[in-house]
Homo-oligomer: A and B are copies of this chain.
Amino acid sequence: MDDAFARLPSPPYYAVIFSSRRNGHDDAGYGEAAQRMVELAASQPGYLGVESTRGADGFGITVSYWESEEAIAAWRQHAEHAATRAHGRVHWYEHYELRVAKVERAYGKPEMKSRSPE
């Protein structure tokens, strides 16, 4: 299946919805750090997946998925992640919003689902 889509278990699970506007500075540094954070997140306990996109206007949405609120809290406290967030607040983002949500129901385009019962 299309790698942009997260392969997730059945709900419930948790989502961190991060919407942001890039300030147009330091594309190379930002790109490298974003890639590193995706890889680091994927190695954390309770990580389930991520979906992310950004338009040509610099507005982007990243949704990461987690087994529990405890997993989200642990990732938030990860030292390298915290340092990268602090750097990003100053250097990369004009603005951002972050929302933590509990996913209760999920549906996919039926004929394309790779996780249908066999």
A interface list, Cβ under 8 A from B? 1-2, 4-6, 11, 15, 17, 19, 21, 51-57, 59-61, 63, 89, 93-109, 112
Contact = CB atoms under 8 A, between A and B. Distances in A.
Contact of A109 (B56, B61, B93): B93
A103 B95 contact: no
A61 B53 contact: yes
A19 to B, nearest CB: 5
Given A53-B53, A53-B55, A55-B54, A108 B96 contact: yes
Nearest to A18: B107
A86 B98 CA distance: 31
B19 A51 contact: yes
Contact of A53 (B2, B54, B98, B103): B54
16 contacts: A2-B94, A4-B21, A4-B57, A5-B95, A15-B17, A15-B101, A17-B103, A53-B60, A61-B61, A63-B63, A96-B109, A98-B108, A100-B103, A100-B105, A100-B106, A101-B101
